[in-house]
Structure 1
């Protein structure tokens, strides 16, 4: 699938707007693309980069077939510089290198394009260094900053970029695409609650760890809702050996939260958005044992556990305490 075809599916209105901007040669020198993962931010930045470098363009739009376009999309064009976090953050040295590149003319053209992913992960030093560049742009350069967390970016950086919001895919649209890719309704129903990206959903579906995680969490959920004391021991014997790091702990919270959310949705009569659709019969039974008020209290307890984990409280202790709260 060509990038333009993908963008027509992901962001048809934005693509239409940017086509007009490109045709009129009115691209700004710095953009901040913000939106959740999988909404086409990277694809749009590459498509725009290709529009500036394409040798066979029609109306300034990229052909997607020439050598320049292919190299841009394959991340091999020397005049397109891409920066991603090194480890957990973007370091000041990475931004200094970027600024050094900005000061040079293009290798094969007068144009240079810079794409910075996860810009919210910049260290304070890196952010300040980037700010200085944005205040004094050099040459024929365009920068695309990509983020999933606009609120974590310095206001001074925001003010120097043209902000573009990338709308999330609707759950219905994402479900339909996953089904065309061969996933069952039961598989897709949970995945669309965890990600807005088709690629990430497919990757999760093929992940053995995730498949086992789903089974573990559902069993834990049924133990808790049945007021079974084994649910406390289950944390040590099964939960902790499988959910070993912070990312896994976050995934656990998401999965257990969705189970309680499903019960609440059943109370409201909205069965078409169940994450655990394959277990609807069991969820219907659990609903009869829990009032909507009790479910809301359970959700609040799970959300409190998430906050504790973010504050680096011991995970096993957090999950054991959660069991006690949920079984009251």
Structure 2
């Protein structure tokens, strides 16, 4: 998403509010963009920064071609400062450095913009330093705080920002966009159930690793039904070599979770909700193997395995325990 038109297609209210502010030259000194991952926070902040600096706008649309637009796009504009977490948090020293930078005159204009990603990760000291910075706003300074958890940000900071609440992306719209980008309807449906981030969704859709992951998940369910005594062998020889990293393992469990949810949908004749639309025959077989109660229990066990991974339980142990529960 690089234009206000793009943003308006998924966040119409926010796009309208910001373009109206630009048209009236009433850009706020501080914005808080809050919304789940993939709702467009970074894209909106990028377009807003371009609109502030671009000297060749068409209405409020940045030209995308001038030196200012190009450097903002590449992250190299001298008067646009990005702050991202240093490790797991944004530290006081990062805010102090930002304040120091803002004491200098702008290199090419007196306008300055700073964008703080994952603002909820500011330490208490960093938050207090930022609060002091916000309490004395410059007319030519615009702050943008991006967060998926605004409640973790000091209320005194929130009160000094114009809050822009971003709506979750509609799965049907995302599925349509993915199909327009060339993904099959079955892949688009599956991927839109895993993420509402269009960029991440496209990366997944063109990733051979993911295509193989999908096959392995379905194969595991077949082994559990037809040859349960070989399930552990399958986990060690097929599953673990493919899902090597914790994040990959979480993705595999997400797919397994969707599969068992589809079995539940089969039980209640809710075919419209089924995600694995190309495997309906296999789902029918699975619904004959696992009872409704067993399927519900399986969903709970998968969620438990995901929690164990987050708690640093060894992935192989978590998967083996899950497999024992799924066998019957």
Change (3 A) 1:268 1:28: farther
Alpha-carbon contact 1:115-1:145 (below 8 Å) kept: yes
Structure 1, residues 182-236: CA drift from partner, whole Å, max 9, x if none?
A: 1111211211111112221111122232222222222122223446122223222
- Return the alpha-carbon distance in structure 1 between the equivalents of residues 4 and 60 of structure 2: 14
- Secondary structure of the residue that 2:97 maps to in structure 1? helix
For structure 1, the residue ranges without an aligned partner over 5 or more in a row are none
- Return the alpha-carbon distance in structure 2 between the equivalents of residues 246 and 124 of structure 1: 30
Displacement of 1:123: 4.5
**2:254 maps to which residue?**
254
Which region of structure 1 is more displaced relative to structure 2, 90-99 or 257-266? Answer: 90-99
Counterpart check, 1:296 vs 2:296: yes
Structure 1, residues 278-316: CA drift from partner, whole Å, max 9, x if none?
A: 211101221233333332221111111112221112221
Counterpart check, 1:30 vs 2:30: yes
Counterparts of residues 122-271 of structure 1 (less than 5 Å):
122-138=122-138, 140-226=140-226, 228-271=228-271
Which region of structure 1 is more displaced relative to structure 2, 207-216 or 294-303? Answer: 207-216
Tell me the TM-score normalised to structure 1 length: 0.89
RMSD between aligned residues: 2.5
Alpha-carbon contact 1:102-1:139 (below 8 Å) kept: no
**2:54 maps to which residue?**
54
**2:305 maps to which residue?**
305
Which region of structure 1 is more displaced relative to structure 2, 187-196 or 148-157? Answer: 148-157
Tell me the TM-score normalised to structure 2 length: 0.89
Which 4+ runs in 1 deviate beyond 6 A?
A: none
Alpha-carbon contact 1:105-1:112 (below 8 Å) kept: no
- Secondary structure of the residue that 2:93 maps to in structure 1? helix
For structure 2, the residue ranges without an aligned partner over 5 or more in a row are none
Change (3 A) 1:219 1:151: farther
Displacement of 1:174: 1.0
Alpha-carbon contact 2:3-2:62 (below 8 Å) kept: no
- Return the alpha-carbon distance in structure 1 between the equivalents of residues 25 and 75 of structure 2: 24
- Return the alpha-carbon distance in structure 2 between the equivalents of residues 44 and 145 of structure 1: 11
- Secondary structure of the residue that 1:229 maps to in structure 2? helix
Displacement of 1:138: 4.8
Counterpart check, 1:8 vs 2:15: no
- Residue-pair matches, total: 328
- Return the alpha-carbon distance in structure 2 between the equivalents of residues 110 and 239 of structure 1: 56
**1:85 maps to which residue?**
85
Alpha-carbon contact 2:4-2:61 (below 8 Å) kept: no
Change (3 A) 1:321 1:135: farther
- Return the alpha-carbon distance in structure 1 between the equivalents of residues 60 and 6 of structure 2: 19
